[in-house]
Amino acid sequence: MMIIDDWLEDKLAERKFAFAAPAEPEECAMFAGMLRAEALASGYTVEALEGACGGDISTYVSGKMLSQSLSAAPLTILSAIHA
């Protein structure tokens, strides 16, 4: 079994399409719930997942979504300028 940090990054990478735009808090909470269920199904504890997320899964997911959307923003702006 891989360590929880690697598992979490893999799960986030699988869903990077979900990070296209800043999400509503409800979306982050729903995604956090899905991660909890998947972690349990994969043999990890909720405590291990929370530890990998710095204590709060929803906040961690929200931060990842925001950072992905910010890193994609310059490309969107450049695409609009050159269109």
pLDDT band at 7 (very low <50, low <70, confident <90, very high): very high
Number of Cβ within 10 Å of residue 29's Cβ equals 15
Q: For residue 13, what pLDDT is reported?
A: 86
Q: For residue 26, what pLDDT is reported?
A: 83
Nearest to 69 by CA among 81, 77, 80: 77
- Whether residue 73 is predicted with pLDDT greater than 90 in this model: the reply is no
Parse the chain into domains and list their residue ranges.
4-82
The more confident residue out of 73 and 53 is: 53
